[in-house]
Structure 1
Amino acid sequence: MPTYDRLIKHGLIIPNWFIFCQRDAETPDHIFWNCDSVRPSWHTFCIWFGFPEALSSADINSFLVLAWDRKMSTQVSKYWKAGIIAMIWAIWNQRNKCIFDNYKFCQRRLLHLVRVAFMEMEMNFKKLGHMDNSWEDYMVLRNIGIKGRAAPPPTFISVSWWPPTAPWMKVNTDGSALGAPGALSYGGVFRDHWGWVRGCFHYKHSMGYAFEAELLAVITAFRIARARNWNNLWIESDSTYVVGLLRKRSEDVPWRFKASWAGVLSSPTGFQLYITHIYREGNQVADLMANPSREEGWWPHEIEEIKHAARQDMAVHSFVRVSR
């Protein structure tokens, strides 16, 4: 950006003062944040969005970091971020007009340019999210002259774990990663048609992603079932990725798991595989087994840590999933 301080560093001989205040040196921080002529505009802008505390930022970079981290509804957030960009553009636009066209800086015109940017967004982009259906969001959108889009009402879904029918053995699996990538941990719980736990496992793996942990959980469950002659295996997971792979018989997995995954897909004669998806609210027993703080191992019985959750599942306890 060709501010006066940078042009001087490149050898241009010009007076280094900002055209708005005609006093302080023209630097990016002074132009866009610290100048006494610009601060009232930022104050008005932050008041529009109910965020006056942002004005305590020492420079424009600190403000941007604080502003981008602020939690807002999807509709307000898009106007907030677009408005910041419009403010910076409008300040630079006014600066150039003052220098080259002998304009006089006008705060009202600067804010008018920002409002025009909001109106253009409203006209040209139809999918700009929803407000939080709160008084605060209503006031923000009214301040900037935008009609609020009410969020749709939430949907409540009842989620329950159901035991398999005999002679099926049902295994619920889950996996997690401590980072992206991070250390992998995964586990699973086998239960019969009465809902009794017939075994559970927890293992760890080197660095990877959460979806890879979900893959490893299914691969391990398959191997355990084969070793114990549970030839009617029902796999249930909260990973749509893994469930989709199994249903499509897809081999599209990371190369380091291709051989093991091929073994799952090419089930031997007499071995039956059934796959279902369950929301995580109903997969709490497997989630407990995937906890990275747990020790590795296979237990051919129910362990104390999952006892309460397993009993809830046996009673077909309903959990509620809320989605929009």
Structure 2
Amino acid sequence: MVIMNYRESFVLRLKGILLDALDVLVEETAEHIFWQCSNIQPIWREFFQWFKFDDFSYDIHSFFVAAWNRDTSSHVRTFWKTGIITLIWAIWTLRNACIFKYKIFYAKHLLQIVRVAFKEVEGSFTKIGHMSNTWSDYLILRAIDVTTRAAPPPDMINVHWWPPVSHWIKVNTDGSASGAPGKIAAGGVFRDNVGWVRGCFHYKGGTGFAFEAELLAVIMAIQIAHSRGWFALWVESDSTYIVNLLNTRSNIVPWRFIASWNKILVILQDFNIQISHIYREGNVPADIMANENMTEGWWPHEVEEIKKAVRLDMACHSHVRWKTR
């Protein structure tokens, strides 16, 4: 079946072409050509069967939104999107060939074109990602006859919190944000060379972004350390932004923190300071103190909320971080 308007059908009639097998419409629409035509829908249904997609209730525009946002592995997603684009192109090309070149409409030919596109993608693209190591992904990739690419196992990293050397104080800082932007909060925990808590804090920061919460946390930590005379200070954060900022002494910070940060840069001249990064799995006490549900304030001792996490750190507990390759 071929879709055409009256003008096209009139031209074909003048040329003596019979229209018994043609679908003649007053006005063509993208919805009908690519989606609603009775000859096209079975093709989509078979395509959807390959990819375990069983919802045909969309209009074509809603389908594209849903298809592009579909949560799949990167390997399956590559062929899913390739297939949709190729099928749209093939429908349009074959539709024009039937109208203007008098070709016969073979629905199965469209799916053959899609399979050829899959082979071209498989052969020419090296960065098509990996499948989820699931039975569902395996069945999809076998249905479209492409080579499965199993995801490599994640790397396991052991994360430890280490105490400072004698006469040094170590502060771990963290920030939290309830949105982007959202309410932000900053927290930190000071500990000595044995691992005992010498103080901890939690402060609210109004509305902002997560990196601003991290910045607020380190500003408060350095101000507190300066006021208490802890000039041999080890600052540790799970934010690479903070680590780079301190290492470079950069003053490129959000405008509302410029005055406070410039004071910190001056204060740092009085410190013997060390800066390091730790993965969030090893930064648990500071993460707890940054929780927005905490009461705001400074405590010159350990609070109950962080007691368990602090004891694990003192026992050299190994936290596991799974890192995808």
Q: TM-score range by the shorter chain?
A: 0.7 to 0.9
Work out the number of aligned pairs and report it: 313
Q: Once the two structures are superposed, what CA deviation does each residue of 1:86-107 show, in whole Å capped at 9, x if it has no partner?
A: 2222222222222322223322
For residues 75-154 of structure 1, the aligned pairs below 5 Å read 75-154=75-154
How far, CA to CA, are the matches of 2:269 and 2:249 in structure 1? Answer: 16
TM-score under structure 1 length normalisation:
0.88
For residues 302-317 of structure 1, the aligned pairs below 5 Å read 302-317=302-317
How far, CA to CA, are the matches of 2:195 and 2:77 in structure 1? Answer: 46
Give 2:41's aligned residue: 39
> Helix, strand or coil: the match of 1:179?
coil
> Helix, strand or coil: the match of 2:188?
strand
Is 2:4–2:24's contact at 8 Å kept on the other side of the alignment? no
Cα drift, residue 85 of structure 1: 1.9
How far, CA to CA, are the matches of 2:258 and 2:312 in structure 1? Answer: 36
Give 1:188's aligned residue: 188
How far, CA to CA, are the matches of 1:91 and 1:20 in structure 2? Answer: 15
Give 1:276's aligned residue: 276
> Helix, strand or coil: the match of 1:264?
helix
- Structure label with greater radius of gyration: 2
CA 1:4 to 1:204, structure 2 compared with 1: closer, same or farther past 3 Å? farther
Q: Once the two structures are superposed, what CA deviation does each residue of 1:246-298 show, in whole Å capped at 9, x if it has no partner?
A: 22333332333233223333445541111111111111111111112222221
Cα drift, residue 62 of structure 1: 2.6
> Helix, strand or coil: the match of 1:33?
helix
Is 1:161–1:313's contact at 8 Å kept on the other side of the alignment? yes
> Helix, strand or coil: the match of 2:178?
strand
CA 1:293 to 1:96, structure 2 compared with 1: closer, same or farther past 3 Å? farther
Cα drift, residue 21 of structure 1: 4.0
> Helix, strand or coil: the match of 1:54?
coil
TM-score under structure 2 length normalisation:
0.87
| 2:64 is equivalent to residue 48 of structure 1 | no
CA 1:249 to 1:26, structure 2 compared with 1: closer, same or farther past 3 Å? same
Is 1:21–1:36's contact at 8 Å kept on the other side of the alignment? no
Q: Once the two structures are superposed, what CA deviation does each residue of 1:88-136 show, in whole Å capped at 9, x if it has no partner?
A: 2222222222232222332212112222222232233211111123332
How far, CA to CA, are the matches of 1:138 and 1:108 in structure 2? Answer: 24
Give the aligned residue type for 1:201.
F
How far, CA to CA, are the matches of 1:312 and 1:76 in structure 2? Answer: 41
Is 1:199–1:301's contact at 8 Å kept on the other side of the alignment? yes
How far, CA to CA, are the matches of 1:217 and 1:24 in structure 2? Answer: 67
- Give the unaligned 5+ runs of structure 2: 10-20
Is 2:4–2:23's contact at 8 Å kept on the other side of the alignment? no
How far, CA to CA, are the matches of 2:306 and 2:178 in structure 1? Answer: 21
Give 1:9's aligned residue: none
Percent identity of paired positions between Structure 1 and Structure 2: 56
Cα drift, residue 321 of structure 1: 0.7
How far, CA to CA, are the matches of 1:150 and 1:132 in structure 2? Answer: 7
Give the aligned residue type for 2:138.
Y
CA 1:318 to 1:35, structure 2 compared with 1: closer, same or farther past 3 Å? same
How far, CA to CA, are the matches of 1:157 and 1:205 in structure 2? Answer: 33
Give 1:179's aligned residue: 179
> Helix, strand or coil: the match of 2:219?
helix
> Helix, strand or coil: the match of 1:199?
strand
How far, CA to CA, are the matches of 1:67 and 1:83 in structure 2? Answer: 11
Q: Once the two structures are superposed, what CA deviation does each residue of 1:25-47 show, in whole Å capped at 9, x if it has no partner?
A: 53222222222211111111111
Q: Once the two structures are superposed, what CA deviation does each residue of 1:22-81 show, in whole Å capped at 9, x if it has no partner?
A: 468532222222222111111111111122x232x2312232233233221111112212
How far, CA to CA, are the matches of 2:193 and 2:322 in structure 1? Answer: 29
How far, CA to CA, are the matches of 2:22 and 2:157 in structure 1? Answer: 58
Cα drift, residue 171 of structure 1: 0.9
How far, CA to CA, are the matches of 1:95 and 1:244 in structure 2? Answer: 58
Cα drift, residue 13 of structure 1: 7.1
Give 1:8's aligned residue: none
